[in-house]
Amino acid sequence: MPELPEVETVRKGLLPAMESALISNAAVNRPDLRWPFPERMAERLTGKRINALRRRSKYILADLDSGETLLIHLGMSGRMTVSGHTIGEFHHPHPTPAKHDHVVFDMDNGARVTFNDARRFGAMDLMATEGQADHWLLKGIGPEPFGNDFNESYLVERLAGRKSPIKTALLDQKIVAGLGNIYVCEVLYRAGIAPARLAGSLTQREVAGLVPLIREVLADAIEAGGSSLRDYRQADGELGYFQHTFKVYDREGESCLTDGCQSKIERFAQSGRSTFHCPQCQR
Ligand SMILES: [Zn+2]
């Protein structure tokens, strides 16, 4: 499942192909992905210019000059591919249309953007740009981790008295947007906080320390994604999946990377997901 840094990497890869460009032709090859596409989707996209390509949580939002915004969600298996346009130093020719190429945008700058989704857990929708905050997928999502509304006093207030584990609380999209399992494990490791501790038991100082760590962990991953775009060798122009090493995630049984710690990383299930932690460093 792509998390915020992967979605941000896809957005950055799409920017030169899509932002300020006009959609010469939108081909919509089936009626739905996870949910039905909006009515007359191809018609509402063709001939429209993309004024801005933004991200909100794990959604990519394209503001069109028609007053509508296109929402793109990669889901679990959605892939965005750019061809006919340069990504970093690499230019990818248009590939032969493939099975599961469900939506194809031909841009007036020569770029082709293909959305391929074999399992169809992805989604696209159109909404009025003005009312976008009320869209059912966006409504109620908490502040962006890099935004001013996400700060120490906000998080202290939101976590106060909470009886759920801190890991579960940080995964709650109503508290902070876009954090997923991988990066929450990394944040709690860097913070030295045990994932099973109740959110309400954290001291004000511990909570305050989480805010810059959340930004640091996400920024590091976005930077790794950015490097992958600059050094873009994948033959097919597919965006968003990059090599990134984690300090604790997916390292069960391996040595803790903290200087002087002799412990091994452990894994346990929390709300049906794998939590990775160092029992020595995280208290
Ligand atoms: Zn350790």
- Strand-pairing partners, residue 125, are 71
Asked, for residue 141, whether it belongs to a domain, the answer is no
Domain boundary among the residues 108, 134, 160 is at 134
pLDDT per position as a tens digit, 124-182: 999 999 999 999 999 999 999 999 999 999 999 999 999 999 999 999 999 999 999 99
Our count of domains for the chain comes to 2
Measure the CA–CA gap between 132 and 50, rounded to whole angstroms. 16
Same domain (yes/no): 230, 198: yes
Strand 59-64, strand 68-73: pairing: antiparallel
Instruction: Read off the CATH number of the domain in which 95 is found.
Output: 3.20.190.10
Is 142 a member of any domain? no
Q: For the whole model, what pTM was predicted?
A: 0.91
Is 119 annotated in some ligand binding site? Answer: yes
Q: What is the mean pLDDT of residues 67-94?
A: 86
- Tell whether residue 162 is among the known ligand binding residues: yes
Q: Ligand 1: distance of its center to the CA of 240 in Å?
A: 31
49 included as an active-site residue = no
Burial of 140 per CB tally in 10 Å (0-12, 13-18, 19+): exposed
Q: Which two tokens stand for residue 85?
A: 């346009």
**282 C-alpha vs ligand 1 centroid, how far in Å?**
7
Range scoring the smallest mean pLDDT among 51-65, 93-107, 169-183, 222-236 = 222-236
Structure tokens at 138: 């966006």
- Average pLDDT, integer, range 77-85: 87
Residue from 3, 152, 206, 266 carrying the catalytic annotation:
3
Q: Are 282 and 193 in contact (CB under 8 A)?
A: yes
Does 26 fall in a domain? yes
Burial of 2 (0-12, 13-18, 19+ CB in 10 A): buried
For 35, phi then psi, to 5°, come to -130, 160
- Residue 98's pLDDT is what? 85
Co-location of 127 and 10 in the same domain: yes
Domain boundary among the residues 134, 168, 188 is at 134
Residue 236 confidence (pLDDT) = 62
- Centroid of ligand 1 to alpha carbon of 193 (angstroms): 11
Write the CATH number for 247. 1.10.8.50
Q: Is the same domain home to 81 and 125?
A: yes
Asked if pLDDT for residue 234 goes beyond 60, the answer is: no
Q: Is 273 a catalytic residue?
A: yes
Domain that holds residue 174: 152-277
Please tell me whether residues 160 and 254 are part of one structural domain: yes
Q: Which of 34, 44, 215, 273 is catalytic?
A: 273
My answer on whether 55 and 162 are in the same domain is no
4 CA → ligand 1 middle, Å? 26
If you measure from the C-alpha of residue 187 to the centroid of ligand 1, how many angstroms do you get, rounded to a whole number? 14
**Amino acid, res. 262:** Q
Distance 277 CA to ligand 1 centre (A): 8
Greater confidence (90 vs 249) lies with 249
Span 247-258, pLDDT tens digits? 999 999 999 999
Is 143 an annotated catalytic residue?
no
Q: Answer yes or no: do 272 and 184 share one domain.
A: yes
Give catalytic status of residue 58 as yes or no. yes
Given 134, 169, 191, the domain boundary residue is 134
Q: Does the pLDDT of residue 241 top 70, yes or no? A: no
- Residue 37 pLDDT: 96
Considering the candidates 48, 58, 112, 190, report the single residue annotated as catalytic. 58
102 is in an annotated binding site: no
Q: Pull the structure tokens for residue 201.
A: 């038991």
